[in-house]
């Protein structure tokens, strides 16, 4: 998306033509639906600026920009190397408190750019201009003051504004980058914030019994950051425990050392859970890995203090019922009075990879994708060829996520390779995995393997990718044919 000249835009009087012109100017892929009052507001804003600025007719703004993945929208934005100016448009009776809340939220999101920031709101019907002060209060301001700030902003950025908001600036995993998490250099999406609000409200309700709550989602929907953010919130008054069913001992130790009221425990599936003390809340990360024994231990710990339990777990509907009937979601969702929520917005995973993984797991899964440029596949006739291909992919920047049940030689591959257990909750730009001769599809179209948990590991391993995935099919012509059929639909 590119900036537009708002003077040029508002010379067109017909609203439909104006929206079509905006699309052409901003280089959007679709026409932006705009309310008439908003376009009237831009016209009025432009008129004021042209009255007092010599170059008022030359001002370019990014109009109705939405931050990628987060869905946060800004009406008008200008950016240069040092400063960012944001102007919001309102019409009718809007309270100062409402204006302040919006501008503070804008400030929160735009802080990732690390620039001097100026925030204004133009209320067109009362013809009032206000700004957010340095002390975060709403104060009336003059058009001369805004004109002065705009005039000082030279050499503005004119490229695609999404380039300034790369995902790694504001979308993180606490276990991939614990230090940025501790510095709170992350944002929650509107969906994450809504689920957080509902969970906190449910916990505060005065009702008998242990409250069991949770949220699920496909890998890459931001479950871990939401769970850990909830832990931080709940620990403001009392100690809470986070039970993580993964292999991130080093990262958990770092978080445990720095957060006073949150104790992190690395737990193993089907092994006894031991904690140091009683807690006011118990949060479960990677709940899709817990067994019946784990769940009984968690319930026993919660009963001591009537602590609420919050589960975060992956949705595994694309796996066959046999693959998911023992662990995780079925156990959690069968708890009495369990309240569950679903995260549906993919934050980390791009849509193309998401569709491919679902199709790979369930061949009969309906999909609209016809082209998978981010997916690669290679074939090996034996382990020697497989290892050669692995090294080739690693040289191209792929991280090899290996399953020890599939790749017995995984220990010989040292650089840029991790086990499926260690990859849990981590993020990688490019992911490589191996499908061996044990894999096939059943009559229902579900991916199956003769080796226990291998299908689940493929599912969760590939879901760690942000940019691209690659598969090496080892000595399995049938699976090579099936994968190519998916890719060449």
Instruction: Report DSSP letters for 321-361, one per residue.
Output: HHHHSSSSHHHHHTSTT-EEEEE---SSS-HHHHHHHHHHH
pLDDT at 430: 93
Q: What stretch of H or E contains 273?
A: none
For residue 148, give both structure tokens. 């002065």
CB-count burial class (<10 Å; 0-12, 13-18, 19+) for 35: exposed
Delineate the domains of the chain, giving CATH numbers in brackets: 4-161 (3.40.1350), 178-343 (3.40.50.300), 351-487 (3.40.50.300)
How far is the C-alpha of 80 from the C-alpha of 82, rounded, in Å?
6
How far is the C-alpha of 172 from the C-alpha of 161, rounded, in Å?
20
Low-confidence ranges of the chain (pLDDT < 50): none
pLDDT at 341: 93
For residue 128, give both structure tokens. 């009032």
pLDDT at 466: 84
Identify the three-state secondary structure at position 383: helix
Among the listed residues 105, 140, 108, the one whose alpha carbon sits nearest the alpha carbon of residue 121: 140
Mean pLDDT of the chain: 86
| pTM summary value | 0.69
CB 420 within 8 A of CB 403: yes
Can you list the pairs that 177-186 forms with residues at least 24 positions away whose Cβ atoms lie under 8 Å? 178/251, 178/254, 178/255, 179/254, 181/225, 181/228, 181/255, 182/255, 182/258, 182/259, 185/112, 186/225, 186/229
> Beta 399-402 vs 417-419: how paired, if at all?
parallel
How far is the C-alpha of 328 from the C-alpha of 316, rounded, in Å?
9
Identify the three-state secondary structure at position 128: strand
How far is the C-alpha of 21 from the C-alpha of 4, rounded, in Å?
10
The CA distances from residue 173 to 186, 193, 221, 261, 468, in Å, are: 9, 16, 11, 20, 18
How far is the C-alpha of 259 from the C-alpha of 241, rounded, in Å?
11
The residue count of the chain comes to: 489
214 forms bridges with which residues in the sheet? 311, 340
Half-sphere exposure of 146 (CA within 13 A, CB side): 28
What is 29-78 written as a DSSP string?
Answer: SSPPP--HHHHHHHHHHHHHHHHH-TTGGG-EEEEEEE-TTT--EEEEEE
Beta strands per DSSP E along 200-246: 212-217, 240-244
Helix, strand, coil abundance in the chain, percent, nearest 5: 40, 25, 40
Summarize pLDDT for 385-420 with one digit per residue, the tens: 999 999 999 999 999 999 888 886 655 556 788 888
Q: Which residue has the tokens 């399995």?
A: 476
Strand order in the sheet with 138-140: 4-5, 60-66, 73-79, 83-90, 116-123, 128-132, 138-140
Instruction: Write the DSSP symbol of residue 92.
Output: S
Through-space distance between the first and last CA atoms of the chain, rounded to whole angstroms: 31
Summarize pLDDT for 281-320 with one digit per residue, the tens: 999 998 988 989 999 999 999 998 889 999 999 877 677 7
pLDDT at 208: 66
pLDDT at 251: 73
CB contact set of 309 (below 8 Å; sequence gap of 6+) = 210, 211, 212, 213, 214, 281, 282, 283, 284, 298, 299, 302
């Amino acid at each position: 998306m590119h900036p537009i000249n708002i003077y040029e835009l508002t010379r067109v009087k017909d609203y439909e033509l104006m929206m079509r012109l905006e699309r052409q100017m901003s280089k959007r892929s679709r026409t932006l639906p705009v309310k008439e009052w908003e376009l009237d507001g831009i016209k009025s804003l432009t008129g004021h600026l042209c009255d007092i600025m010599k170059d008022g007719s030359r001002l370019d703004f990014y109009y109705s920009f939405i931050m990628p993945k987060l869905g946060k929208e800004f009406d008008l934005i200008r950016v240069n190397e040092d400063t960012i100016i944001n102007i919001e448009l309102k019409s009718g009776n809007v309270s100062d408190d409402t204006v302040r809340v919006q501008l503070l939220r804008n400030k929160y999101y735009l802080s990732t750019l690390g620039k001097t920031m100026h925030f204004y709101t133009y209320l067109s019907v009362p013809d009032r201009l206000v700004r957010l002060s340095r002390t975060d209060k709403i104060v009336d301001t003059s058009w001369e003051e805004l004109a002065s700030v705009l005039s000082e902003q030279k050499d503005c950025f004119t490229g695609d504004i999404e380039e300034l908001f790369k995902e790694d600036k504001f979308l993180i995993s606490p276990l991939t980058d614990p230090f940025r998490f501790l510095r709170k250099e992350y944002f929650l999406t509107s969906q994450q914030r809504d689920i957080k609000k509902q969970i906190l409200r449910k916990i505060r309700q005065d009702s008998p019994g242990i409250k069991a709550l949770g949220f699920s989602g496909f890998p890459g929907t931001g479950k871990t950051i939401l769970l850990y953010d909830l832990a931080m919130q709940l620990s403001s008054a009392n100690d809470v425990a986070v039970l993580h069913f993964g292999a991130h001992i080093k990262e958990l130790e770092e978080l445990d050392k720095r957060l006073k009221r949150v104790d992190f425990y690395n737990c193993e599936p089907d092994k006894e859970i031991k904690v140091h003390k009683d807690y006011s809340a118990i949060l479960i990360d990677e709940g899709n890995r817990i067994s019946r024994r784990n769940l009984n231990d968690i319930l026993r710990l919660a009963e001591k203090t009537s602590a609420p339990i919050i589960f975060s777990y992956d949705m595994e509907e694309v796996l066959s019922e046999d693959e998911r009937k023992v662990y995780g979601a079925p156990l959690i969702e069968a708890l009495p009075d369990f309240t569950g929520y679903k995260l549906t917005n993919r934050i980390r995973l791009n849509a193309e990879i998401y569709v491919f993984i679902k199709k790979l797991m369930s061949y009969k899964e309906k999909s609209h994708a016809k082209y998978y440029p981010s997916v690669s596949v290679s074939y090996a006739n034996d382990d020697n060829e497989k290892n050669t291909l692995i090294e080739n992919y690693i040289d191209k920047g792929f991280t090899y996520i290996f399953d020890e049940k599939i790749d017995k030689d995984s220990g010989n591959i040292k650089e840029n390779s991790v086990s499926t257990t260690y990859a849990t909750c981590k993020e990688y730009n490019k992911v490589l995995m191996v499908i061996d001769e044990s894999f096939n599809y059943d009559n229902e179209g579900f991916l199956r393997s003769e080796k226990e948990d291998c299908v689940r590991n493929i599912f969760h391993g590939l879901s760690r990718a942000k940019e691209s995935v690659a598969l090496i099919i080892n000595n399995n012509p049938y699976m090579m044919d099936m994968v190519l059929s998916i890719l060449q639909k």
